[in-house]
């Protein structure tokens, strides 16, 4: 990657982060290009140098955070840990990522309300991929006889993902618990649900 390309990439990320912040606060339709730009002391027009249109901006926002998340969970799922540790790590890692990058995660909700066509396909695909890693861990846990064989994998996965995504709705840096503590608590309680 040339120097110039690096510079562009950096600027793009800057914009994406700004966008994510505003998007998280106001939602897709509630966010204006003006605001995203103002956030960066840029002008509306300049942003169109980097992104084709608002949809594109949103999509790439989604991409960025999705790639981050997928990378993390893939790493955990493919590690040499036992299923218990895998699940614990997956949960913790999601909590830590979500709380530290709250604004970016915020916009992962309701893809079908924001995306259409190919973008929607992509977004849903990535979401499925993410979910799949949890299924994999759960299945492995059952096979290895450390998780309760009666659990309904699909339901458990929905419960875990729901709990994790809900964090954005209530988490605040000034809350009574640090994100570490939350991660710990979530891991503990969710594990209790699946252990024998």
Partner DNA sequence: GATGAATGAGGTTTCATTCAT
Partner DNA sequence: AATGAATGAAACCTCATTCAT
Interface with its own copies (CB under 8 A): 25-30, 109-110, 113, 148, 151-152, 154-156, 158-167, 169-170, 176-177, 182, 185-186, 189-190, 192-193
Q: Which is nearer to its own copies, 28 or 50 (CB)?
A: 28
Which of DNA, its own copies, none lies near 4, with the C-beta cut-off 5 to 8 A by kind?
DNA
As given in the structure block, the two tokens for residue 59 are 């999509």
Smallest distance from DNA to CB 151, Å: 44
Q: Which is nearer to DNA, 33 or 90 (CB)?
A: 33
Phi and psi at residue 51, in whole multiples of 5°?
-130, 140
Assign residue 74 a region (left: φ > 0; alpha: ψ between -120 and 50; beta: otherwise).
alpha
Q: Encode 33-81 in three state secondary structure.
A: HHHHHHCCCCCHHHHHHHCCCHHHHHHHHHHHHHHHHHHHHHHHHCCCC
The dihedral through the CA atoms of 69, 20, 18, 33 has a sign that is: positive
The residues, ordered by sequence, that sit 6+ positions from 152 with a Cβ below 8 Å of its Cβ are none
Of the candidate spans 6-14, 59-67, 74-82, 92-100, the one that interacts with DNA by CB under 7 A turns out to be 6-14
Smallest distance from its own copies to CB 138, Å: 12
Q: Binding pattern to DNA, positions 31-60, x when CB under 7 A? A: xxxx-------xxxxx-xxx-xxxx-----
Distance CA(95)–CA(97), nearest Å, equals 5
Q: Which is nearer to its own copies, 144 or 189 (CB)?
A: 189
The residues, ordered by sequence, that sit 6+ positions from 188 with a Cβ below 8 Å of its Cβ are none
Which of DNA, its own copies, none lies near 2, with the C-beta cut-off 5 to 8 A by kind?
none
Distance CA(111)–CA(51), nearest Å, equals 19
Smallest distance from DNA to CB 68, Å: 24
Q: Which is nearer to its own copies, 40 or 161 (CB)?
A: 161
Distance CA(183)–CA(147), nearest Å, equals 20
Which of DNA, its own copies, none lies near 90, with the C-beta cut-off 5 to 8 A by kind?
none
Binding residues for DNA, rule: CB under 7 A, are: 4, 7-8, 11, 31-34, 42-46, 48-50, 52-55
């Amino acid at each position: 990657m040339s120097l110039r390309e690096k510079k562009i990439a950096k600027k793009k990320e800057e914009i994406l982060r700004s966008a994510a912040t505003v998007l998280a606060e106001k939602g897709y339709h509630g966010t204006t290009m003006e605001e995203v730009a103002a956030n960066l002391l840029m002008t509306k027009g300049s942003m169109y140098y980097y992104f084709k249109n608002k949809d594109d901006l949103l999509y790439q926002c989604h991409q960025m955070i999705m790639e981050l998340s997928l990378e993390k969970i893939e790493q955990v799922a493919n590690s040499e840990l036992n299923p218990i540790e895998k699940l614990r790590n997956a949960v913790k890692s999601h909590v830590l990522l979500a709380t530290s990058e709250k604004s970016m995660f915020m916009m992962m909700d309701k893809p079908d309300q924001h995306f259409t066509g190919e973008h929607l396909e992509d977004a849903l695909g990535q979401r499925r991929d993410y979910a799949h890693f949890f299924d994999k861990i759960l299945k492995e846990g059952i096979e290895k006889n450390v998780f309760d064989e009666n659990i309904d994998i699909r339901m458990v996965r929905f419960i875990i993902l729901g709990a994790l995504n809900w964090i954005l709705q209530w988490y605040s840096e000034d809350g009574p618990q640090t994100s570490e503590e939350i991660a710990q608590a979530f891991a503990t309680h969710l594990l209790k649900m699946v252990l024998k």
